[in-house]
Amino acid sequence: MVQYNFKKITVVPNGKDFIDIILSRTQRQTPTVVHKGYAISRLRQFYMRKVKYTQQNYHEKLSTIIDEFPRLDDIHPFYGDLLNVLYNKDHYKLALGQINTARNLIGKIAKDYVKLLKNSDSLYRYKSQKVAALGRMCTVIKKISTSLAYLEQIRQHMSRLPSIDPNTRTVLICGYPNVGKSSFINKITRADVDVQPYAFTTKSLFVGHTDYKYLRYQVIDTPGILDRPLEDRNIIEMCSITALVHLRAAVLFFLDISGSCGYSIAQQAALFHSIKSLLMNKPLIIVCNKTDLQPLEGISEEDMKLVMEMKSEAMKTVIGQGGEATNDEGVLLTMSTLTEGGVIAVKNAACERLLDQRVEVKMKSKKMTDCLNRFHVAVPKLRDQKERPPCIPAAVLEAAEKEKRKTERDMENENGGAGVYSASLKKNYLLANDEWKEDILPEILDGHNVYDFFDPDISLRLDELETEEGLGQAEEVDNDFELDGQELKPGQQEALAEIRKKKSLLIQQHRIKKSTAKSRPTVPRKFDKDRHFTSERMGRQLSKIGLDPTLAIERARSRSIFRRGRKRERLPDRRDADVMDMDVDTPNKKQRMRSLSQVRLLSLPPGEVVPGEGFKDSAQRIKAIKIAKKSVKNRNKDARRGEADRVIPNLKPKHLFSGKRSIGKIQRR
């Protein structure tokens, strides 16, 4: 977890903005009007409050700056030296010291002028001393404006620094410029470091993250280092040296054996020997890069001798248990970032060696010794010298083979692999005869596509089917016509058929109307001029057919009256029965009112408690309602005006751009 997050440091305003922020806050947060008729104690309190409030605001802002910037003596040495390389810690401490001195000076000024205000006795002196106090405070801030500007530049640069955790698992890449360090980190992590064919493309530290054995590793790409004395190295090279000195990491020293970087193997070997003192007690791997241009076996004997010397030195850097040098496996590796050959092997070797070293160090610590004392590993004693290897019964193996279901992948491997074997999609068809599964389905029949075949009589058949369904539905729904078994006359049969046909048509229209009910607007009944199903309309239609509509209209009206009557009369509910029982059994009037409130929840008084709500009494319920209303008040206040409101914001606040000025004053204060 990253311990240092420099992006959270508050913005440092310059001197002029600092003064404007503090004075405008003082003007807004303290009373602004005083009259000559006030008592002298009230005038004194007014101006003392101005001075004290200004001093408090200055103290808070300056304290925030001092506390949020890191103290070089308290943070990790890696970040301490890195900040010293980038910004010069003397200048950094001097700027923070000036901020601290200004904070103390402002406190002394406020203390002195409050004492003067206590001993003054006129409105004129109060005004003069208040102006003098605020003026001296602003003068102190103006004097440290250069330090504020310097700290703001440092804050901006620190916010762009990478988030490096000095205590986590780390892989560090170093070497000469243009040997392939940035290409390697781009291959094994999701970092996007700029790669160019010239030296010093990377000018600062870059961080990426990779996974190995379900653990997260941070990979740091350092700028290139040249073989020269420490005092001659620039800031870019010193960033790499700082990381090598302070970070406990696995180091990958990149060696360009092709010479395309512009430096020979002898120069790179000299750099390795000059910085090997920084690599002690760290897992070190020498990576021979760009083998696509020049394989390791093809270099000259002198260069091979230098590489072998570097390998022997790398083996001596990490001392294993018992003071013996580590084995030479994985100390010298070859790879090519262009063809990606050996890239993963280099990453795995670095992570594995780092993990082994960290486990070994942890096992030697006192904390681990205390933990191991609590464990006891039981080792069974041998009864005899007979070997007893693990054995699985044959019955268990046979049962496992039977339970194992052959998958399509197994069948594919048995029958020639992908591209040769094609899985059958028809073998799971549910047919009456399994032999029909592999039948070939005809696609073209008589010159026509089978899937596009169209029956010329299909429309007639559909009409017949719809007619049959309509008649069947009409017979099911039609309960009004009760025939007593006597055969009807031909005229009556025609009238009955006409009525049933008309009824089926009305049913279809009603279903269509019902299916589109959600998309149609609701029209009040008195404005609905297109009402189709009314008794008058039914009477007119029956008269046209030649039937007497009187009985039908009377029957429909009697049904509607019966339905309305049933709506008016409500059967006794279970709750009513409970209430009646409660009225009889409970002598207390208050309990009867509570039982009635379960039925009439809408007519509750605000303090009435309903069983099941969780309130002890009415006072507790009233208190809960008040707290709920109070909690919403602040949110409602904050939501009065926002960016989305159609209002022109007040860009020129009155307290900043208006007020009396004496003769000769051009500043607004």
CA 53, 112, 656 angle in degrees (round to 5)? 35
Residues 526 and 147: their CA atoms lie apart, in Å, by 81
Structure confidence at residue 599 (pLDDT): 46
Q: Which of 87, 97, 96, 79 is nearest to 154 (CA)?
A: 87
Which pair of tokens denotes residue 38?
């006030």
Residues 307 and 313: their CA atoms lie apart, in Å, by 10
Q: Which residues of the chain have pLDDT under 50?
A: 1-2, 320-326, 480-482, 484-485, 566-587, 596-601, 668-669
Q: With residue 265 as reference, give the H or E element that holds it.
A: helix 265-275
Contacts of 531 (CB under 8 A, 6+ apart): 525
Across 313-472, the runs of DSSP E, i.e. the strands, are 332-334, 444-445, 448-449
| Tally of domains in the chain | 3
Structure confidence at residue 585 (pLDDT): 47
Q: How far is CA 238 from the centre of its chain?
A: 37
Is 328 part of any domain?
yes
Backbone phi, psi, residue 253, to 5°: -95, 115
What are the angstrom distances between the C-alpha of 480 and each of 109, 309, 474, 505?
104, 111, 11, 17
Is 480 part of any domain?
no
Q: Which of 110, 137, 158 marks a domain boundary?
A: 158
Residue 173 and residue 149 share a domain:
no
The CATH number of residue 53's host domain is: 1.20.120.1190
Read off the pLDDT of residues 81-119 as tens digits, 9 standing for 90 and up: 888 888 888 899 999 999 999 999 999 999 999 999 999
Q: Which of 366, 381, 412 marks a domain boundary?
A: 366
Structure confidence at residue 211 (pLDDT): 92
Residues 209 and 219: their CA atoms lie apart, in Å, by 6
Residue 223 and residue 188 share a domain:
yes
Is 282 part of any domain?
yes
Check if the beta carbon of residue 249 is closer than 8 Å to that of residue 295.
no
Q: With residue 28 as reference, give the H or E element that holds it.
A: helix 15-29
Looking at residue 248, its amino acid is R
Residue 11 and residue 41 share a domain:
yes
The CATH number of residue 235's host domain is: 3.40.50.300
Check if the beta carbon of residue 103 is closer than 8 Å to that of residue 61.
no
Residues 334 and 497: their CA atoms lie apart, in Å, by 97
Residue 193 and residue 224 share a domain:
yes
Residue 212 and residue 117 share a domain:
no
What are the angstrom distances between the C-alpha of 449 and each of 373, 437, 454, 456?
83, 21, 10, 15
Residue 168 and residue 134 share a domain:
no
Q: Which of 131, 158, 185 marks a domain boundary?
A: 158
Is 482 part of any domain?
no
Residues 310 and 213: their CA atoms lie apart, in Å, by 29
Helix axes 40-68, 89-119, angle to 10 degrees: 170
Residue 211 and residue 104 share a domain:
no
Residues 215 and 171: their CA atoms lie apart, in Å, by 13
Residue 332 and residue 187 share a domain:
yes
Is 437 part of any domain?
no
Backbone phi, psi, residue 497, to 5°: -65, -40
Residue 171 and residue 117 share a domain:
no
Is 310 part of any domain?
yes
Buried b (16+ CB within 10 A) or exposed e, 198-222: ebebbeebbbbebebeeeebbbbbb
Is 223 part of any domain?
yes
Buried b (16+ CB within 10 A) or exposed e, 439-461: eeeeeeeeeeeeeeeeeeeeeee
Residue 142 and residue 75 share a domain:
yes
Residues 344 and 187: their CA atoms lie apart, in Å, by 9
pTM comes to: 0.53
Q: What is the DSSP letter of 648?
A: -
| Residue 32 domain boundaries | 6-158
Residue 57 and residue 19 share a domain:
yes
Pairing mode of beta strands 444-445, 215-221: unpaired
Phi-psi region of 2 (alpha: psi -120 to 50; beta: other; left: phi over 0): beta
Q: What is the DSSP letter of 6?
A: G
Residue 223 and residue 192 share a domain:
yes
Across 52-186, the runs of DSSP E, i.e. the strands, are 170-175
Is 411 part of any domain?
no
Residues 151 and 157: their CA atoms lie apart, in Å, by 10
Residue 286 bridge partners (DSSP)? 253, 332
Looking at residue 647, its amino acid is V
Look at the alpha carbons of 441, 445, 449, 454 in this order and tell me if their dihedral is positive or negative. Answer: negative
Contacts of 282 (CB under 8 A, 6+ apart): 248, 249, 250, 251, 317, 318, 357
